[in-house]
Every structure is written in C-alpha cells, then in structure tokens.
Structure 1
C-alpha cells in the first residue's frame, strides 16, 4: 500500500491543489488529462491511491491536527501549550467563535479536495479499458467508501453540507446550497452500502494491499453512521454481522493497540498508512504535535486531570498507564534513558501530561523525528469501538444480555470486573467504557454531542457551560496543582459554551462569503 502512495506522489496526473483556494474555486483537472488518462490498471490505481492520500494528506496542518482540536473541545483534553500563541485553538477548544480560524478552514477545504479525487475515480474507472472486472469494481467501491468517509467527517462536524457527486468546474457549483443533515447521511449510507457489495474482506487481500478499505471497514462505518442518527435497530444488525464475520478481534494486550510495532493489527478495521521513508512526506506528525516540549514535541492537546480521575475512579490502571504520561513518570514501553523520570515541565504544559497513545519510543523514532516521517499508523476505526457501538445499540434496543457480552470482552482485556446492570445504568456503563477505552482517539466530542441525558439535554450541554460538570470541576473541585498553577491556559474552559450554538462547529467564514451567501452559516455564529 505504501508503494502505491509513492507511485502516486511521483505521478504528473494529480495536481496538488493550492492550499489557500476555496472549495468553490479549486482547479479541476483539464480535459486533456482526463481524455488521455485511465488507460490501464496502473493509472487507475494511481488515482485511487490519491484518494487514500487525501485521508490525512501529506502534512500535519491540512487535516490531522483538526482531530486533536475536536478532543480539545471536550473534558478529556486541554489545548496544552502554554508557551506559544494559542490563537489557532483557543476559540475552538474554549467555545468562542472559530469561524475565521485556519484549522476549520483547512479541514473543510481538504475534505472537499479529497471528495473531488473520489468523484474522478467513480466517474472514470467504469469506462477505463481494463479487463479485470473484479479490480474495476473494487476500485470504484474503494472510492465510494472514501467519499463516504470524507462526507461523514464533514457532517458530524458541520451538519448538512453541499453534496457534490460529480466532477464539477467551479462555475458549475456557484450558488450551491447545503443539503440537510438527513440528506447528507443518506448519501453516505448509499455509498457505504455500495462499497460493502464489492469490497473484499480483509482476509481476501494480499499482504501488499494491507491497509486498503475492506468490507468490514465499510460495515463498521455504516454501523457508526446509523448510531449517530439514532437508528439503533439498523446499527445493531450491521454491527452484529460484522462481529460474526470473525475477521477481527481485540489485541491480547491493550498496550499493543497503539504500538508502532503493531500497525494493521487484528484489531484494526481502518487506519492511515504511514511510512518512515524520508524521501517522501508519507509519515505522521501527531506524535510530535502532541509530545512534550522537553522532548522535541509541540505540546498541543494534553490530557486533563479530569480524564485521569475517570480512570482512577474506575480502577482502570492498565488503560491509564498506556493513555496518560505524567511529569516524572517512567514512560511505559520505552526502556531508553530519555524515558526515565520523563520531563514535562509544568510551566510549559497546562496539565504536565501527554498522550501516551501517540508517543513513539526513542529507539523507534526516525531521523529526523520532527518531520512527516513517523510511521505510527493512525487508527481510525478499531474492533473495540465496534464492540462498544454494538453494546450501545443493543442496550438501546432492550437487548441488554448482548450488550453486556460485548462490554465484557472489552473490559476483560484490562482486568476489569463484569458489569451486571441493565437499562440506563448499563447505558451509563457503556458510555464510560467508551470514554476510557477510546480516550484521546477523537471519539469523545461526537459521543457527547449525540448522547441524550436524562434531563433531555445532549451530554455535552451538561459537561460544558457555566454549570457544566467539567467547568465546575476545574473551578471549584480539582486539587491538581499542575492545572491550578498554570493559568496561561485558563481553567474556565467551556464556561462560554452555548447550547443553541456549540453542538456543531461553524462553517468556515471564507466559504460563506465566497459562496455569495448560498452556503448558510450554522445558527448563532
């Protein structure tokens, strides 16, 4: 798979689009290229590789850091960096109005650039003069899966968005409107159903194709999309079918889930494929972006003491160990001298903690380290998430025995006792399990936005805001001296949260302006 990416980057066919262009004004490939390309399997596969490359693109700033920003907007993570300007992140993480900020604008633009690449494959591969019909079907299915992924990333952050399914020139989409959230999800569902029909199972791929979209990955995302819409019966069915396929399992040890030596594990349904080859920008930067400033890191996106307390209250020492590293700890899994009594200077780091999941042991780091060459694949969907989604859907459907079985599998791995409750108590146990198992993996914000609490509000509304539990914890209850002492990031994060505004992010202001108003802003931004 990584070889395919290298071929793609060397191809003259795909032009990287200008990073400052708006999606309504992005260049489209000339007709002379499209008329002469897609003449053989290799050319078709290069374009499909371009679709994969657009998942995270080739640097940290286009897409990947936005994922960290979403966790910053929860009770699990601070902005963290207290030595540099916080202007890119303060409004997103502390609930201001980030509609003019770069991270949102970049994310929107590059998601649509990825959609364009998928649309080209879907339009051109059906008529390409190739003889391998199974490969043709697979490539189209891969593009539909990846287009669904891109639109899912947009709809869960912004609500309904413009849906473009063809290769369009800029003048052809002027005046385009947003689809409703329901219409956007309907298109995602259809793309995933089409992909499920023609994608191979993971076990049917050769090792050279490991990392490509699979039938299981498409089923997992379809289940997640059903869950996000409250379609619990549909979610339970597709996730049960996925579990019963026996294509995936949990890693034996939790420490191996995010190990750089365990990329594409039995637990992985879909992950960004990275390479440490310094000839190309095919590696990740998040280990640097979230790392300690005392260890070549940038210290953005640091765990909160509130998250640490959740682990401790649950008696969950194993996952805590492999999720949070605290100033003065010996970093687990790193036996080098640099990892002993590990330094996270409190004055430079809001919580004096870092994310262990993205940490790379010193003896496994490439040179140079502070570059796009780190080959820790980024896990986007894994089997523990599937089990917990299934447990949630089953519980919502009154099938508590099945929910407990799935929950037990996740808890058994880290030595926690069985949950024997039912109904809402079981629901709350599943929700807590998602927080602990998937901590700092960019799931928390979307869970909090979609979960309904017993008072009729979304869970996020009870955590953030002037009377939110997270805000009150930090202002009145916390005894964590690191966070209390370092007020260069204010501990009142979330106090300006508004229920009538902050269950979505704003549409980037440039998109609204350049559309001439046809793309409407989200309420109260």
Structure 2
C-alpha cells in the first residue's frame, strides 16, 4: 500500500489471526465483522503485524555510522546514509505508507470496538489500550523521520486524505505522550500476562516508550520520572538484566526478564536478514550489511579506557585483544570462530591474502569493511529463515536512558552509576574496577562521552544509533566521515593515512538531512502537503 488513500480503500478487508507471530489468514467483510471479542482480538492482531518489520530493524543500523549497506538492498538505505537521496527513495516512501497503514488499522479498532454487542469490559479496555499504544508508536516513528506529518485518529475519507495538511510534530508528540500515560491503567504488568499473551504490550512497555519519547525531546526530568517507575520496583512491571549478554539474543531465551517489547516472529512468520549480515560461508549469500571500523573503535578496553586514552593498553597490531566483551558478542573479525548452521566451527578470515579468501576483503561477495555482525545470528533457523523475536525495548535501555538523563541534569554520581552503568558492564563481563567503578574525577561532559559510548556498545545492531546521533545533533559530524574498514598493509585498496580501508564517502547536510523529505508520491496525491526545509 503506497498511499494513505489506498490504505483506506483496502480497510474494509480485515484480516485476523489469534497469535501475534503468525501471518493474517482470514478475511472478513465490514458487515460480518465485530461480532464478538475474538473479532476485536483478531483486528488488534492486524495492528501488531504492522508494529514494525525486520527491514527497518536491521536497515536502520545502516542509516547510522555503525554499519554500511553494500549495494541498493534494504530499500536503498545506503543512498540515505551517503546523502544521495530524495523523495523517491524506496525507504522514504515505504516508511510513510507503512505507518499510515498501521494508524489506519489502529483507528479501525478504536472506532469500532463499541460495535461488539457483548465483551468483557476489562478485555475491551486492554484491546483499546494496545491499539492506542501501537498508534502512538507509529506516530512517534513518523515524526522522528519526517517531522510534521498528517495527524488524525478517525477513519478519514479518501477525499480528506487528499487535502489533509501536516500537523506540527510537537502537537503530535504531546498526543503520543498523553496516550502512553492514559493507557497504563488498562494494561497488565508483564508478570500478570498469560503465556498465550506473551509479546503483547504491557504497562512497562507504555512507560518505557514514554521515557524514550521524552529522551528524544531532551525532557530529562520526565525521563527520570518514567524510568524510576521501572528501576528496582515491581508495581508497573518486573524487569532485570538477563544474565548473559550474547545468550539474550537467542530463541531459547525469548521473553526473558530484560525484554519489555519485542517484534514477534516464529511459526510461519520469519525473516532471512541474517543471510545479509553473516559471512557468506555461513549463510551462502553476499554479505551486504556490515559493521564499520568506527563502531569497532568505540568499544572500550577491559580496563574501562577508550582505545585512544593513555594507559588503555590498546595494541594496533593486536586490536581485538582485551576489548569490551560485548564486541565479541556483536561483531565477527579476522580470527573469530563461529559455529555454522551445520554445527561446524569456522574460523572467519577477513585480511587480504588469507586462505581461503571467501570471507576476506578481497572477495566481492564478502564484507567490504572486514567485519560481520554476529548479534541476532540464529543457529536455530531452518533454511536461513529465522523466527527469533527482535527486541524493540529492553531494560538495559531504561537504565541507559536514566543514566543519560541524570547526567544531563547534573545528578550523575556513584549511586546512579551503581544502578545503571555498573550492572550493565558487570553483566557484559567486565571485572576490572577501572571499568565497573564510578570515576568521581570525571565532569559532566566527560561522563556524557562515557554514557554515549556505553549506549552505542550496549545497543549496537538494534537500530537505535541513528536516532541517537540525530537527537544529540552530531549527525553532521559522524555521518559526514568516510565509512572505514580494517587496517591493511597490502592490496590495491583505497586507504586513509593510517592504512584503514575507505569503503565510501558520506555527506550529511545540516539541517536538511535531519528530516527526510515528504515522499514525492504523497505530494503528487495531496497538493496540501508541504515539504521539509531544503528538499
């Protein structure tokens, strides 16, 4: 569905299913629908199906300085990250139409639940609350990418969709925050969910999402207020860090204590994106979504120091020794060992001249940076199709949001550190006091750098980096640098002064690229849609 009006034309067909991780299979007409509670649940499932998708989850990483997308796949996100795009870009068009379809589905639920003749009042409230959450999530995504966008909460007509104007994003975000506050009372806490309801929106998800919206608006005290409802408390949900960082991203540990909201997969609903980010000797396909050297360089040493700091112990000739344990859990490098889908242990070689050369920077189908993503590699996948849920919000993010907000308020101290950064690093595997203990000599700007680096390492390959560099207003700095790969001493590669491969040059223009353009196809359909600055 490419346009708002097209989603309206298709809205009379409601597809339902009883599980969140299964595709829609039944079709209903408007006259035969809204008969009972199951119809309401099935319509709600159609909303969940449009919460987000794997193309965005993985593709968003390549929009940032964490990753590079080699070629025009993943809806041509590489054109966005290198600054060579316009309103006809595939991802720019798809995100707009995708989330307006989501909003239409949610509005269908909220506008029609009163038609069900007999339904338990608490179930009705819960269905409405879940639909309102998904709608709020969709509007947050739209405003994050496009700024001002058309806003409505009813089932607008085709004629109205062709004349509606854009609403100020701050007005929309105030609505989003109001919705996330109001629905909390009608949502269950995570510990009160039946097993069949796992994956549904909970009260904790509404609170954590509210904290995220406040975070992106730099409303620091509001971030603190939301996070404090979840940190060390159980009234609004019970969450804790899962013991193993790398084990958290596996099918065996889905729905663990850290997950607050995830995108549901399994059964016949799967994705095959790991074929695009793992080495081609593992997944038999060209590797096109790969980590950058800049991401690798941001992982600290086991003593807590950045690689460029005095006393870090970093050895450029042995660059992967004594690094943040999350580095090995997230990224494959030259010499990494990984068990393939057949159970065979492979050693991944990426330096030029290695034998075999299949995964090296010499091979056209291999990673051009010399690195591969490892997080979210699913060995349980059959025929490369993974049913592993993708985590949208987790408890570690709540702790990191809290730490950032407290520091911005000038309130970061040992107590806050020991609530947030310390347990995150301890869980990751740090033992050196230099990494785990609070450094009281650091001032606010220095702590900001530490917290931002921590956020990047903890949440790498989870699609959040691009939003972070935008809200920090550093995108014009980090996205205007060349994409770099491994340091090489031989081969005909384009290299910088230090010998690191230059894969691509990027451009990010401030303020133009802080917002995507309103898609051309949408403005062709609706002449009242204004355009963002400089587009």
Which aligned pairs between 1:141-290 and structure 2 lie closer than 5 A? 141-246=129-234, 247-275=238-266, 277=267, 280=268, 282-290=269-277
Equivalent of residue 337 in structure 2, options 323, 330, 342: 330
Structure 1's 480 and 79: CA in aligned 2 closer, same or farther, altered over 3 A?
Answer: farther
Equivalent of residue 497 in structure 1, options 488, 508, 515: 508
RMSD: 2.6
2:328 aligns to what?
321
Equivalent of residue 406 in structure 2, options 384, 394, 407: 394
Equivalent of residue 386 in structure 2, options 374, 377, 391: 374
Structure 2 distance, partners of 1:74, 1:184, is 25
Task: Give the aligned length.
Answer: 472
Range with greater deviation from structure 2 (380-389 or 249-258): 249-258
Q: CA deviation at 1:479?
A: 2.9
Q: CA deviation at 1:51?
A: 0.7
1:13 aligns to what?
none
Structure 1's 328 and 204: CA in aligned 2 closer, same or farther, altered over 3 A?
Answer: same
Which aligned pairs between 1:398-417 and structure 2 lie closer than 5 A? 398-401=410-413, 402-405=415-418, 406-414=420-428, 415=430, 416-417=435-436
Structure 2, gaps ≥5 residues long: 14-27, 307-321, 350-357, 496-500
Q: CA deviation at 1:206?
A: 0.7
With structure 2 as the length reference, what TM-score do the two structures score? 0.82
Give the conservation status (yes or no) of the 8 Å contact 1:235–1:390: yes
Structure 1's 255 and 110: CA in aligned 2 closer, same or farther, altered over 3 A?
Answer: same
2:523 aligns to what?
512
Structure 1 distance, partners of 2:520, 2:403, is 39
Which one has a larger percent helix, Structure 1 or Structure 2?
1
2:381 aligns to what?
365
Give the conservation status (yes or no) of the 8 Å contact 1:287–1:297: no
Give the conservation status (yes or no) of the 8 Å contact 2:293–2:484: no
Structure with larger Rg? 2
Structure 1 distance, partners of 2:288, 2:136, is 29
2:292 aligns to what?
304
Structure 1, gaps ≥5 residues long: 1-18, 57-62, 452-457
Residue 384 (1) aligns with residue 396 (2): yes
Which one has a larger percent strand, Structure 1 or Structure 2?
2
Which aligned pairs between 1:345-356 and structure 2 lie closer than 5 A? 345-346=360-361, 347=363, 348=365, 349-356=367-374
Give the conservation status (yes or no) of the 8 Å contact 2:270–2:386: yes
Q: CA deviation at 1:177?
A: 1.1
